[in-house]
Amino acid sequence: MTQIYKHVENNNEPKIKQFSKFVKLLSILLLLMVWSSTMASNVAQAQTTVYLTVASDGSAKYKDIQSAINAVPSDAYGDIHVKVGTYVPTYKAASDHGSGAFIYLKSNLYIHGDGIGKTIIKRGTTYGSTSNIDMFGNTVSLTNVIIEGMTLNGMSGPTVSKIQNGYGSAINLSHNRSLKNTMIIIRSVEALNWGCGFMGRNVIGTDFNDNFGLILEDCHTSNGWTSMTFLNSAFVIVQNNRFEKTAGKRSDGRQGGDAIFPQATTTYRPSGTSGLSHDWIVKGNYVYDIGDTGFDATTTDGMSPQYNFLFEGNTMVNAFLRSSGSKNVIVRGNTFYDSSSGTYDKAEISFDGGKGKPIDILVESNTVTSSRSHGIDLCCTDSGASKVLGLDGVYRSSGTIVKNNVIKMLTSGKGLNLSCNGDVYSSGNTVNGKPA
């Protein structure tokens, strides 16, 4: 996926050139839907497997999850079944980062409950809403870990407006920020009332086949500051999740929380890694009532573009997509629409040059119903507009295709704004039923 397409010199539509890496990226997605569900047994075949059961009622050898994790030998694969019940683990401090976690992970684990709403792990009521404590954390690098089939409940008390980034995460794979993690699957996990549902740093794979970084699928987050954020993370699949009700816009006018946030970082990254998040497939997710971006693939100041993102077949309600300083991004077949006028954000597809020019972008066959001034906006109104608007010729887009999108405006806005970009091709788009 080093290049999605290339332009021809005339005014005809650029010819899409599917390179072998990009074809592999799409085809392997389908394989992973089947393959990832059998990963636990595949790994187990390569190692001695230890089967352990945890039961809150005392009917199994272990009553708490940490004891079962600790019982798995270092040279074995641990299959840990957490039976139906409610668990309130004991907090354990960590000296390496933050305020610690309730449960510490190690490599080669399959931790599976009996389903969302059946296996429930709760944060103890003695830990206040400002305590930066994660439910699952790690103090060692992780590989081959699956967490599946449970609800992780942060607190029943605080409202989303009171939950901040320091409140802790349901699963935090960046507890020690300098560690590198790989081949992590989080499936059918519900995260309620956390500062961040799922968080990670340096969750890095090298391909989508046998060394991916993360698969997050069939999960649910609600009533948190951010649904998921991963820094310096590569070869990530985020599919068929429901992310809803992050923090709304605050009284000081600042934005609230994000839903899907692949971040770049200049700090706390293992040697040999770029600090960029790249090679993400985001597919089939439902995103609802988000205080800031529903999806944001944006680099940070002074860094190269984040690259290789496929955002396809998602539904975003009261949320928008933003990307800045990005390269090789496909946004295709998604539905965006507004359904309220509350503190949440509004539907839009937005590429801007605030962090560097967009390069090789395809926006195709999306449906956008918006009460913003534009449904698709390839311009920017951030500060520093002299650069953003391309007045110095630096931040104009390069290689942008916008085609066959359907925009319905709920305001008198323009609908489609491509006026600030350099190398852009537009075809087959409509606004309120008329060619744009």
pLDDT for residue 84: 98
pLDDT for residue 382: 41
pLDDT for residue 32: 52
**Beta carbons of 132 and 101 less than 8 angstroms apart:** no
Which phi and psi (to 5°) does residue 55 adopt?
-140, 130
Q: Residue 125 above 70 pLDDT?
A: no
**Beta carbons of 191 and 171 less than 8 angstroms apart:** yes
Q: Which two tokens stand for residue 217?
A: 């699928």
Between 101 and 427, residue with greater pLDDT: 427
Q: Residue 56 above 90 pLDDT?
A: yes
Q: What is the pLDDT of residues 19-30, one digit of tens each?
A: 334 434 544 554
Between 405 and 46, residue with greater pLDDT: 405
Q: What percentage of the chain carries pLDDT values higher than 70?
A: 74
pLDDT for residue 356: 76
pLDDT for residue 298: 87
Q: CA triplet 300, 345, 334: central angle to 5 degrees?
A: 80
**Average pLDDT for 49-74:** 96
**Average pLDDT for 44-73:** 90
Q: What percentage of the chain carries pLDDT values higher than 90?
A: 45
Highest mean pLDDT among 299-303, 321-325, 340-344: 321-325
Instruction: Tell me the CA end-to-end span of the chain in Å, nearest whole number.
Output: 30
pLDDT for residue 230: 92
Q: Which two tokens stand for residue 27?
A: 């085809």
Identify the weakest region by mean pLDDT among 94-98, 288-292, 312-316, 369-373. 94-98
pLDDT for residue 388: 34
pLDDT for residue 116: 98
CATH of 48-353, one of 3.50.50.60, 2.60.40.10, 2.40.50.140, 2.160.20.10: 2.160.20.10
Reading across the β-sheet that carries 134-137, which strands appear in turn? Answer: 101-104, 134-137, 169-173, 196-201, 226-231, 260-263, 293-298, 320-324, 348-352, 374-377, 415-417
**Average pLDDT for 102-128:** 89
Ordered DSSP codes for 108-152 = SEEEE-S-TTTEEEE--TTS-TT---EEEE-SS--EEEEEEEEEE
Average pLDDT, the chain: 80
pLDDT for residue 385: 35
Q: Which residues contact 37 (CB under 8 A, 6 or more apart)?
A: none
**Average pLDDT for 216-224:** 93
Q: What is the pLDDT of residues 343-396, one digit of tens each?
A: 677 899 988 777 777 888 899 999 999 988 889 988 644 433 333 333 333 345
Q: Residue 100 above 70 pLDDT?
A: yes
Q: What is the pLDDT of residues 232-274, one digit of tens each?
A: 999 999 999 999 988 755 555 555 689 999 988 888 787 888 8
Q: Which residues contact 41 (CB under 8 A, 6 or more apart)?
A: none
